[in-house]
């Protein structure tokens, strides 16, 4: 409980005008404001979910809802030493504005990070941004007029949804499966748009360890996607925050490196390999696009923080960034395994989930009669939270899916959190069985979960055939 630190006046003392709290608002005032709102505010969606999500931040909640990296593993003494270096060696510079496109020292670090994933760039071509999120905003600002089409994945990154909406874009979502975006569906959609005389402004994809689905686009699809954008001269926004967080399998080339940078705008970030607190991301891409984005950034915030840019540069100077990413990967890989094991233990055969080879998220799909937004209310009673699937769609789909994060909480909490989710799901499955007289099985799998999860089974987003077979098995059992 908090007591607000409000008025320190003595009782009865008249209030000075300067100390007055916010203006009183009447409905007339309200109309005065709403009459001034831009048309785009009508489609800037907030939601019941936002209020529910605020509850997930309570301390007594195990939150599998966030997308938070584990910053607690960053050594305090390194942090202090790096900050000390910046303070002593770059006092004036770190306290000063910087160039809009970012400091050269940081751009060299960015080139190093991209090289680590096999993508070679010229540091001069980098636009430093305030988090990766700003890249999405600047790309929209540069390309999108109201009503323009953006093609995204289904599900797509929930954080991109408000950005797309605030530029009044029409978003068309293309299904994903275990190999990433369905390129055949993309091509059909592009052909349909062609017939309608429309051309999407860009295609937005998180090809590697997708947020929220956890899936990775196969090499074959990467090649095909690159061909499609080259053939049709479409722009592609490749959002790659997690590429270096791979826990198994071989790494795949970025779309940017496959394509060569004529039609791909690349988005990178330090958020997941170092810290989201430094608010630093970047973009590389076709020069004319980047130039407009640069002007857009000037209008938004002049430049990103000099202080944090110098901090990151000094950190890279110390030469340990790969080791730190290595230690994060070790922590996250264990947490992912714990979550996959817990899911196999706690969710029945009527549920399916993805098996990410890296990144931060697992996408779980429940029977279609369960709405995960409502389920969240029940889950909060059990002190556990997740992101309801609807957040990742603009078209109302995703109601029976949820995103689970495994990077932000410890292994014991993951086990307990998933156990509680399993319980509320079981409760709803049972209730539905009672209501429909079908009583689908809710038993935990009789066989102990295999130590090495069966990729063919677990790597399924939502395959109807498999789903049906599972249900049939369940009924027979």
Partner 1 sequence: MTRVAVLKGGRSLERQVSLKSGARVQDALDRLGYEVVGIDVGHDLVTRLRTLEPDVAFVALHGRDGEDGTVQELLEALGIAYTGSGVSACIRCSDKVIAKHHMRDAGIPTPDFFAFNETAFKELGAADALPAIEERLSFPIVVKPADQGSALGIKFAASAKDVPGALVAAFSYGDKVLLERRIDGRDLAVSVLDGEPLPVVEAVPLGDDFYDFEARYEIGRTEFVCPADLPAALTARAQELAREVWDALGCRGFARIDLMLCDETGELTVLEANAIPGMTETSLLPQAAEAAGMDFDALIERIVALAT
Which residues bind to partner 1, rule: CB under 8 A?
A: 1-4, 6-7, 11-12, 15, 20-22, 24-28, 30, 33-34, 37, 41-42, 45-48, 50-52, 54-55, 58, 369-371, 374-378, 380, 428, 431-432, 434-437
Report DSSP state, residue 147.
Answer: T
Q: Which is closer to partner 1, CB of 30 or CB of 456?
A: 30
- Distance of alpha carbon 136 from alpha carbon 156, whole angstroms: 13
**C-beta atoms surrounding 269 within 10 Å:** 24
Q: How far is the CB of 387 from partner 1 (least distance, A)?
A: 16
Q: How far is the CB of 292 from partner 1 (least distance, A)?
A: 30
Provide the b/e sequence for 452-465 (b: ≥16 CB within 10 Å). Answer: ebeeeebbbbbbee
Q: How far is the CB of 424 from partner 1 (least distance, A)?
A: 8
Q: Which is closer to partner 1, CB of 53 or CB of 338?
A: 53
- Distance of alpha carbon 162 from alpha carbon 47, whole angstroms: 11
Q: How far is the CB of 375 from partner 1 (least distance, A)?
A: 6
Q: Which is closer to partner 1, CB of 258 or CB of 380?
A: 380
What are residue 265's phi and psi, to 5 degrees? Answer: -100, 120
Q: Which is closer to partner 1, CB of 47 or CB of 218?
A: 47
* Contact by Cβ (8 Å): 248, 453: no
DSSP three-state, residue 419: helix
Tokens read off for 35: 């009459």
Q: How far is the CB of 23 from partner 1 (least distance, A)?
A: 9
Tokens read off for 301: 């915030």
**C-beta atoms surrounding 26 within 10 Å:** 9
Q: Which is closer to partner 1, CB of 143 or CB of 366?
A: 366
* Contact by Cβ (8 Å): 394, 161: yes
Q: Which is closer to partner 1, CB of 26 or CB of 120?
A: 26
Say which residue the tokens 């907030």 belong to.
Answer: 46
Q: Which is closer to partner 1, CB of 377 or CB of 412?
A: 377
Q: How far is the CB of 440 from partner 1 (least distance, A)?
A: 12
Q: Which is closer to partner 1, CB of 287 or CB of 439?
A: 439
Give 235's strand partners: 202
User: Where do runs of H (alpha helix) occur along 128-236?
Assistant: 131-143, 160-166, 183-195, 219-232
- Distance of alpha carbon 405 from alpha carbon 173, whole angstroms: 22
* Contact by Cβ (8 Å): 372, 402: yes
Provide the b/e sequence for 364-388 (b: ≥16 CB within 10 Å). Answer: bbbbeebebbebbebbbebbbbbbb
Instruction: Extract the runs of DSSP E, i.e. beta strands, from 178-325.
Output: 180-181, 202-205, 235-239, 264-269, 281-284
* Contact by Cβ (8 Å): 409, 416: no
Q: Which is closer to partner 1, CB of 48 or CB of 456?
A: 48
Q: Which is closer to partner 1, CB of 20 or CB of 92?
A: 20
Instruction: Extract the runs of DSSP E, i.e. beta strands, from 349-437.
Output: 352-353, 361-365, 384-385, 387-388, 401-405
Cα torsion at 22, 25, 29, 31 (round to 10°)?
120
């Amino acid at each position: 409980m908090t007591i607000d630190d409000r008025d320190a006046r003595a009782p009865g003392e008249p209030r000075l005008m300067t100390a007055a709290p916010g203006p009183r608002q009447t409905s007339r005032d309200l109309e005065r404001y709403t009459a001034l709102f831009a048309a785009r505010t009508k489609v800037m969606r907030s939601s019941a979910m936002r209020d529910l999500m605020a509850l997930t931040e309570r301390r007594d909640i195990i939150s599998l809802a966030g997308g938070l990296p584990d910053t607690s593993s960053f050594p305090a003494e390194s942090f202090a030493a790096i900050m000390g270096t910046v303070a002593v060696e770059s006092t004036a510079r770190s306290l000063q504005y910087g160039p809009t496109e970012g400091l050269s020292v940081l751009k060299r670090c960015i080139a190093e990070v991209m090289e680590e994933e096999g993508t070679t760039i010229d540091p001069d071509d980098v636009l430093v941004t305030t988090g990766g999120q700003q890249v999405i905003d600047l790309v929209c600002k540069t390309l999108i007029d109201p009503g323009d089409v953006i093609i995204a994945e289904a599900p797509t990154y929930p954080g991109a949804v408000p950005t797309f909406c605030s530029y009044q874009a029409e978003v068309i979502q293309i299904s994903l499966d275990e190999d990433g975006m369905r390129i055949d569906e993309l091509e059909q959609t592009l052909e349909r748009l062609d017939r309608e005389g429309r051309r999407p402004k860009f295609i937005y994809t998180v090809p590697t360890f997708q947020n929220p689905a956890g899936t990775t686009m196969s090499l074959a699809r990467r090649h095909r996607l690159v061909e499609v954008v080259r053939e049709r001269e479409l722009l592609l926004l490749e959002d790659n925050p997690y590429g270096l967080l791979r826990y198994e399998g071989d790494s795949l080339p970025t779309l940017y490196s496959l394509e060569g940078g004529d039609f791909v705008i690349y988005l990178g970030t330090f958020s997941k390999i170092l810290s989201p607190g430094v608010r630093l991301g970047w973009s590389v891409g076709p020069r004319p696009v980047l130039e407009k984005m640069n002007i857009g950034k000037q209008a938004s915030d002049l430049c990103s923080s000099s202080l944090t840019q110098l901090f990151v540069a000094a950190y890279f100077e110390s030469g340990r960034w790969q080791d730190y990413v290595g230690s994060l990967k070790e922590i996250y890989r264990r947490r992912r395994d714990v979550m996959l094991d817990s899911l196999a233990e706690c969710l029945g055969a009527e549920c399916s989930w993805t098996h990410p080879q890296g990144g931060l998220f697992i996408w779980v799909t429940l029977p279609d009669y369960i709405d995960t937004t409502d389920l969240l209310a029940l889950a909060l009673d059990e002190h556990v939270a997740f992101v309801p699937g609807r957040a990742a769609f603009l078209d109302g789909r995703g109601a029976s899916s949820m995103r689970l994060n495994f990077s932000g909480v410890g292994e014991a909490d993951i086990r307990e959190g998933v156990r509680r989710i399993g319980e509320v799901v079981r409760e709803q499955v049972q209730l539905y069985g009672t209501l429909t007289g079908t009583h689908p099985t809710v038993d935990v799998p009789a066989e102990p979960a295999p130590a090495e999860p069966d990729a063919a089974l677990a790597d399924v987003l939502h395959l109807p055939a498999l789903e049906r077979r599972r249900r049939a098995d369940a009924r027979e059992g």
